[in-house]
């Protein structure tokens, strides 16, 4: 049995395409920014219409995916959660840190559409994803409200920070550089305050790549101020 277990290898069944070319700015949990939309494009082997039969009956999906940008040979028993300022420790199994024995992520997304036409169909259009562009997907499972939602569940230290955010000042002439359908999403993403809790320096110019643009901003007096929006090259823009 041990030899069988060690010989197992997870198969990448799909990749997700989002507006985030880098990790900075990606929401810290799925569902925090409902305005974000993404496409899940399956590998040719899994583009079988039969595999999607009945999926339209569900409103939300679980995604199991690979922390593909996180690679460590060794794991540690404790981590420093960014929401705790990077100064307090928690056990790795008490967090959703990407630095785990197995770099596997779990996200709940809303199913918007099953696209059945086109060269790469069937594919899924979803919202609320917290993944980088190109992230490998290992599995898609339906979300079951009666089994997956526990109303009396406790949320640990994460519950204390669920309302964290910041007021965003985004000049109209800069916001209008984005396509209209992307504006609410970029505003909502910035309102989550993408800065790490341990890296909040006044007058420091941060850069967040979103939908092919580099959004440059500072933060002071409890407000995030967008200073410039610069076009980036080579980004997957939908």
Domains and CATH numbers, the chain: 2-68+103-149 (2.40.30.70), 161-231 (3.30.2310.20)
Asked if pLDDT for residue 4 goes beyond 60, the answer is no
State how beta strands 14-17 and 60-66 pair.
Answer: unpaired
Query: Is 2's pLDDT higher than 70?
Result: no
235 pLDDT more than 80: no
pLDDT at site 88: 84
pLDDT band at 237 (very low <50, low <70, confident <90, very high): very low
Residue 147: pLDDT over 70 = yes
Does the pLDDT at position 195 exceed 50?
yes
Q: Which pLDDT score is estimated for 234?
A: 40
CA–CA dist 103, 108 (Å, integer): 17
Distance CA 184, CA 163 (A): 18
Percentage of the chain exceeding pLDDT 70: 89
Residue 94 half-sphere exposure toward CB, CA atoms < 13 A: 15
Query: In 81-148, where do the E strands start and end?
Result: 90-91, 104-115, 123-127, 135-142
Report pTM.
Answer: 0.89
pLDDT band at 232 (very low <50, low <70, confident <90, very high): confident
Q: How confident is the model at residue 238 (pLDDT cuts 50, 70, 90)?
A: very low
Half-sphere exposure at residue 227, Cβ-oriented, CA atoms within 13 angstroms: 11
Classify residue 154 as left (phi > 0), alpha (psi -120 to 50) or beta: beta
Q: pLDDT grade, residue 182 (50/70/90)?
A: very high
Question: Which 8-state DSSP code applies to residue 10?
Answer: P
DSSP E strand boundaries for the chain: 14-17, 37-42, 60-66, 78-79, 90-91, 104-115, 123-127, 135-142, 167-169, 206-210, 213-220, 223-231
Considering Cα of 60, then 62, then 66, then 72, what sign does the dihedral take?
positive
Between 156 and 63, the higher pLDDT residue: 63
């Amino acid at each position: 049995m041990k030899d069988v277990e060690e010989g197992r290898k997870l198969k990448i069944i799909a990749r997700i395409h989002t507006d985030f070319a880098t990790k900075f700015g990606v929401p810290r949990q799925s569902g925090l920014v409902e305005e974000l939309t993404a496409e899940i494009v399956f590998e040719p082997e899994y583009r079988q219409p039969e595999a999607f039969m009945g999926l339209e009956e569900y409103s939300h999906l679980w995604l199991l995916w690979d922390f593909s940008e996180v690679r460590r040979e060794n794991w540690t028993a404790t981590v420093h959660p960014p929401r705790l300022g990077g100064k307090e420790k928690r056990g790795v199994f008490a967090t959703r840190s990407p630095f785990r024995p197995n770099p596997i992520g779990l996200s709940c997304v809303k199913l918007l559409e099953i696209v059945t036409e086109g060269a790469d169909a069937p594919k899924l259009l979803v919202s609320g994803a917290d993944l980088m562009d190109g992230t490998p997907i290992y599995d898609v499972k339906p979300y079951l409200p009666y089994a997956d939602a526990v109303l009396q569940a406790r949320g640990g230290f994460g519950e204390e920070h669920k309302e964290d955010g910041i007021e965003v000042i985004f000049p109209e002439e800069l916001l209008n550089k984005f396509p209209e359908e992307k504006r609410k999403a970029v505003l909502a993403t910035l309102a989550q305050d993408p800065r790490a809790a341990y890296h909040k320096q006044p007058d420091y110019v941060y850069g967040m790549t979103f939908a092919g643009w580099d959004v440059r901003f500072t933060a002071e007096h409890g407000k995030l101020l967008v200073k410039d929006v610069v076009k980036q090259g080579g980004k997957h823009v939908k």
